[in-house]
Amino acid sequence: MHDLSTDILALSGEAALLVRRNQVSFANSAACRILGGDCLGKSLKALLGPGITETQAPSFVVDVSLGGSSYAVRVSRFQDAQLVFLRKCDSSPLLLNDALIFSMRSSLMNFALSADMLRTRAEEKGDSELLGSLRSITHSYYRMMRVLTNASMVLALSQDSVIFSPQELDVAALASGLVETAAMLCPQVELRLSCEQVHPIPADRQLVELIILNLISNCLVHAKGCTRVSLSLVETRDSLILSVDDDGCGIAPDRLGSVFDRYCHGFDMESMLSGAGLGLTVARSAAHLHGGTLLLESRQGKGTTVRVSLSRHSEVLGLRSPGESMEEGNMKAVLIGLADCLPDECYTERYMD
């Protein structure tokens, strides 16, 4: 049977390995070009890192950096062995630049100011129909702000210009506030957080916030049939592990290997209206900046789990800056971060003020 599997892998155009007892027993030519011709006999941990071997799931996908390029590594159990496929993540050029993003931000600011002026007039006249339309307009503004936030992050990554400022951060308190706010705005889905006693770690608050909200949004937007989103935090010697789990439809096996590609969507209108396809790219990149990684496990019809590791050993680069309170920051961040899945009714002065 193993001879048959190696024959099949040899014919595959996708880089593929057969692994027995954590050692590579077969590598096709595409895999040898990536990992080197001497990869046979080496341990999977030595080739692809500990994130592969420390995961007990029978099937999962994880991002790995090899030779300066990012790869989606898909692992499946095969009898007493593992099949490992490597697929280079889509690195198509971004149709973005700093001038375009600045122009979009300026236009959105004018858009918001005009909507506020119209809202004041509509409230003075008691025009409920116009107020309803303005809620929809304001919601669209927040959706565009979410796209622009993620796109700006991806552009900064491509230019190696991300501002990364780790400070002592209580991730449990941040996650608790975001989940509490999201649960209030999304009562139709059970959102909950469970965590052991975890210590603060050096982390960039804005980037960790992006990770949490992008992963929650992915669950609410893409996991059809989802009724529960559970977050958990677990501390290890070297990392803080954030897990986000849903009970939705899961991801089809043939799409699992491309989940890290930018702008990855199906061609149906519903998929294209559900966002720009940058959420996982941003979450994965933010994890990399924190010395961690992102692993995704999904079973079709049973749900998806995403685990993000954040190193506990990053260097603290600055003091906590003054600004808006945690509660104010949570509401604003959630209104932007979950704009693709919240109703128009959330975009009124009741919440935005």
Which pLDDT does position 329 carry in this prediction? Answer: 65
Which pLDDT does position 170 carry in this prediction? Answer: 95
Q: What 8-state DSSP symbol labels residue 225? A: T
Give yes or no for residue 205 having a pLDDT over 90: yes
Q: Strand (E) positions, the chain?
A: 15-20, 23-27, 59-66, 69-78, 81-88, 167-169, 190-195, 201-203, 228-235, 239-246, 294-299, 303-311
Give yes or no for residue 59 having a pLDDT over 90: no
> What is the average per-residue pLDDT within 310-320?
76
Where does the pLDDT of residue 269 fall: very low under 50, low under 70, confident under 90, or very high at 90 and above?
A: very low
Rounded to two decimals, what is the model's pTM?
A: 0.81
Give yes or no for residue 243 having a pLDDT over 90: yes
What is the enclosing helix (H) or strand (E) of 256?
A: helix 253-256
Give yes or no for residue 4 having a pLDDT over 60: no
CA atoms within 13 Å, Cβ hemisphere of 298: 24
Which pLDDT does position 42 carry in this prediction? Answer: 92
Rounded to an integer, what distance in angstroms lies between the CA atom of residue 78 and that of residue 175? Answer: 37
> Of 53-67, 135-149, 333-347, which gets the smallest average pLDDT?
53-67
Where does the pLDDT of residue 212 fall: very low under 50, low under 70, confident under 90, or very high at 90 and above?
A: very high
pLDDT tens profile 96-125: 677 778 888 888 888 888 888 998 899 899
> What is the average per-residue pLDDT within 19-40?
90
Q: What is the C-alpha end-to-end distance of the chain, expressed in Å?
A: 65
